[in-house]
């Protein structure tokens, strides 16, 4: 979990995994990771290891993960109905800066994923510059990755776009706005000529 604090998704993942395996919960906000540590202790989870620091600087994770979650810092405009102050804090410049950060986090997290592994990118914004443009740029620069849409029978399929990403619209779905995409790292096949 590349942007783990305060840890709700991290602890949920640990419970889905029956507290087996290893989850590295990374975040640069040590103060916010304290809440995660409290929940890890309260839930008696053994599979979570907390790593304080910027996720762009953990080279020790290269090609070690079956799956990585990047719930990236964002403008949060998908939560306007609960947090109307966001509209006055978000500027074109902050969105541009966030998109740059999101792209960097995604690119670094991609190095952590083993071949045939999964990378999930998520935000609580609906801004295309922080979502679709980040993914399009990533795929352009990382040809061994592809979008893996949800299966047609899954509940997520109702929110799926033709491109394969999920976008939840508050006015249509009566919940926070949200963007998510599952990316699959393809196994490189080297064919040698005889």
Distance between CA 32 and CA 34 in Å, rounded? Answer: 5
Residue 116: predicted pLDDT: 94
CATH assignment of the domain containing 148: 3.40.50.150
Residues in CB range of 140: below 8 A, 6 or more apart: none
Distance between CA 147 and CA 164 in Å, rounded? Answer: 6
Residue 109 lies inside a defined structural domain of this protein: yes
Residue 8 lies inside a defined structural domain of this protein: no
Q: For the chain, how many structural domains are there in total?
A: 1
Residue 41 lies inside a defined structural domain of this protein: no
**pLDDT per residue as tens, the chain (194 positions):** 999 999 999 999 999 999 999 999 999 998 989 999 999 999 999 999 999 999 999 989 999 999 999 999 999 999 988 888 888 888 999 999 999 999 999 999 999 999 999 999 999 999 999 999 999 999 999 999 999 999 999 999 989 999 999 999 988 888 999 999 999 999 765 555 44
Q: Whole-prediction pTM value?
A: 0.92
Residue 96 lies inside a defined structural domain of this protein: yes
Residue 67 lies inside a defined structural domain of this protein: yes
Residue 68: predicted pLDDT: 98
Q: Which of 118, 122, 132 is nearest to 178 (CA)?
A: 122
Residue 187: predicted pLDDT: 79
Residue 38 lies inside a defined structural domain of this protein: no
Residue 31 lies inside a defined structural domain of this protein: no
Residue 194: predicted pLDDT: 46
Residue 119 lies inside a defined structural domain of this protein: yes
Residue 167: predicted pLDDT: 95
124 carries an active-site annotation: yes
Distance between CA 71 and CA 49 in Å, rounded? Answer: 17
The alpha helices in 67-169, defined as continuous H runs, are 86-89, 92-112, 132-141
Instruction: State which residues form the domain around 131.
Output: 54-185
The pair of three-digit structure tokens given for residue 151, joined into one six-digit string: 């299966």
Catalytic residue among 3, 26, 74, 124: 124
Length of the chain (residues): 194
Residue 153: predicted pLDDT: 93
């Amino acid at each position: 979990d590349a942007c783990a604090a305060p840890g709700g998704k991290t602890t949920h993942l640990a419970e889905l995994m029956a507290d087996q395996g290893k989850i590295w919960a990374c975040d640069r906000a040590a103060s916010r990771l304290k809440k995660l540590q409290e929940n890890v202790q309260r839930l008696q989870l053994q599979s979570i290891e907390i790593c304080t620091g910027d996720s762009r600087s953990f080279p020790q994770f290269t090609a070690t993960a079956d799956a990585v979650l990047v719930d990236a810092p964002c403008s949060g405009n998908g939560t306007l109905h609960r947090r109307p102050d966001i509209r006055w804090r978000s500027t074109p410049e902050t969105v541009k800066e966030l998109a740059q950060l999101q792209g960097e986090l995604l690119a670094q997290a991609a190095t952590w994923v083993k071949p045939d592994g999964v990378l999930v990118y998520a935000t609580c914004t609906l801004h295309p510059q922080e979502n679709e443009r980040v993914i399009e740029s990533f795929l352009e620069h990382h040809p061994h990755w592809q979008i893996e849409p949800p299966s047609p029978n899954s509940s997520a399929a109702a929110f799926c776009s033709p491109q394969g990403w999920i976008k939840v619209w508050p006015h249509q779905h009566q919940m926070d706005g949200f963007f998510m995409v599952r990316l699959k790292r393809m196994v490189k096949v080297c064919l040698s000529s005889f």
